[in-house]
Amino acid sequence: MRVIAGRLRGRRLKAPTGTVTRPTSDRVREALFSMLGQVEGCHVLDLFAGSGALGIEALSRGAWSAVFVERNARVVAVLRANLAALALAEDVAQVRCVDALSALRSARQRAETYDLIFIDPPYRQAREWADELAAILPSLLSPAARVVVESATRAPLELPLEIERQRRYGDTSITIHRQQ
């Protein structure tokens, strides 16, 4: 797994071993960022971050900051190793080792807002997250923010936000929502 483009282009990323995570393939990441276009200056939230590939790709392409949320301590160790290997300092790339809903509630309490949010939950659990995400996300979105959802084609995570684009890549569905 590598960073596709930007200042960190070609740099290798480690992926956690086992079946705890399902890293987004290089092909899907490349297509996703092609659909997103410019991400320069964005504040990014990478939920269910895993290796951090999506947030790292955004930082490589000029995003100002990224918050990575991952609850599994073993996976967080790999994520931190990736950030350290790329010399991404904590003021630019912050890791929060908590579950997604706790992270979202804390972000809401701190009045944080994001321009770009990546949501890539475990495929089997994606639909279970819909109601809670729909309730919390609006308070975290900056004007014209985009929310990228990666889920299984057969059981997509659907959010009550305007859909800007939607594509399928094999078993993977990518939906880009835009804040109205």
Task: Locate 74 and state its tokens.
Answer: 């073993």
Nearest to 133 by CA among 39, 22, 43, 47: 47
3-state secondary structure 89-132: CCCCEEEECCCHHHHHHHHHHCCCCEEEEEECCCHHHHHHHHHH
27-178: CATH topology: Rossmann fold (3.40.50)
Contact 116, 59 (CB under 8 A): no
pLDDT digits (tens, 9 = 90+) for 83-127: 999 999 999 999 999 999 999 999 999 999 999 999 998 877 777
Residue 18 is predicted with a pLDDT of: 66
Q: Can you give the residue ranges of every domain in the chain?
A: 27-178
- Would you say the pTM of this structure is higher than 0.85? yes
- Alpha helices in the chain, H assignment, sequence order: 26-36, 53-60, 73-85, 100-109, 126-136
pLDDT digits (tens, 9 = 90+) for 130-164: 899 999 999 999 999 999 999 888 888 889 999 99
Q: Could you give the CA distance from residue 23 to residue 19 in angstroms, rounded to a whole number?
A: 10
Residue 61 is predicted with a pLDDT of: 98
